[in-house]
Amino acid sequence: MNIQLPAHPPFSLPVVVKSHGWYQLSPFGWDASGVLTRVERLSTGRVMELRLRESDVGVSIEVGDRLNDAESQEVAAKAVWMLDLDLDLSPFYARAWDEPRLAYVEETARGRILRSPTLFEDVVKTILTTNVSWSGTIRMVERLVSTFGDPLPSDPARHAFPTPERLAATDEDGLRSVGLGYRAPYVLELARSIVSGDLDLEALKSADLPNADLRKRLLMIKGVGDYAAANLLMLLGYYDFLPVDSWAMTMVSREWYDGEPVGRAEVEAAFERWGVWKGLAFWFWDWQGGE
DNA sequence: GGTAGACCTGGACGC
DNA sequence: GCGTCCAGGTCTACC
């Protein structure tokens, strides 16, 4: 069956998908024909493959199985969240027109950032990006998903992202065995705090909190520091904190400091004038000789 | 509040 | 083949 969803224009599925590296992490998949795939576990426990394509008005979701109304609504809600289909970036675009490095963003539909259906998945994946090369992140996520995720019935080699319940039921050694290293206790504690009810992570997606308070809540999660919190705030749609990592410092160094080493302060200063759009300006900056 | 050292792991690099 | 360094940081102890 197919589910059709509108998107606030301008919209481009490939642009959202490639907004950062998340599409390379299991259980996402992306093929050259322009289809974003994902093995997804619904709240009913059913596991299915979603195939998302760009359509005339937004996105078309192909699901191999028949879904009841509640399941269809769940799939639609997850897709809207993942692709931020309702997002109106016209205030950001209006400011970007005056900046040569960002003038391209509206015509190319830049601005949306691909996110996972749950904040739990995005927090785990963000923790797994820290202090490791990107290839290491890909490997850790793949092993975590294939070991603890529910299998897709039609292709048991593929799996959904593991639930907090499944990860909470394992132990530190189990998580270390899939290569998480010292991050294992962080992921375990996160999963267990969600299952115990001590942390309602998904509520933060719609929490009416000042940005600074939301950041404090994220920083309370073990394994989430300044970089990870800023990255998660970006995914949640708050752009006034910069995810300053070694890559950011390298790019700012090349752009404004002639390759001389710079720190967090210089990265912050470079984008300070963008105010609440700081994060998006940084994220979509057309870096000189960039990646 | 600022800083040094430890932390899993695996690829890159020099020898 | 082996040792060292470091990668899209964070935590803890200490000052």
How does DSSP assign chain A, residue by residue?
-EEEEE-PSS--HHHHHTTSGGGGSTTEEEETTTEEEEEEE-TTS-EEEEEEEE-SSEEEEEESS---HHHHHHHHHHHHHHHTTT---HHHHHHHTT-TTTTTTTTTTBTB----SSHHHHHHHHHTTTTS-HHHHHHHHHHHHHHHSPEETTEEEEEPPPPHHHHHTS-HHHHHTTT-GGGHHHHHHHHHHHHHTS--GGGGGS----HHHHHHHHHTSTT--HHHHHHHHHHHT--SS----HHHHHHHHHHHSTT----HHHHHHHHGGGGGGHHHHHHT---TT--
pLDDT number for residue A208? 85
pLDDT number for residue A250? 84
pLDDT number for residue A168? 97
- In this complex, the answer to whether residue A21 has its CB under 7 A from any atom of chain C, a nucleic strand, is yes
- In this complex, the answer to whether residue A179 has its CB under 7 A from any atom of chain C, a nucleic strand, is no
pLDDT number for residue A83? 98
Q: Give the residue ranges with Cβ < 7 A from strand B.
A: A 131-133, 135-136, 139, 176, 179, 181-183
| Residues of A 51-110 whose CB lies less than 7 Å from any atom of strand C | none
Binned average pLDDT, 10 residues per bin, chain A of 291 residues? 97 96 96 95 97 97 94 98 98 96 96 97 96 94 97 97 97 95 96 96 92 93 95 94 87 85 86 93 83 49
pLDDT number for residue A95? 96
Distance in Å from B15's C1' to A252's CA comes to 34
Nucleotides of C under 7 A from a protein CB: 7-12
pLDDT number for residue A9? 97
pLDDT number for residue A205? 94
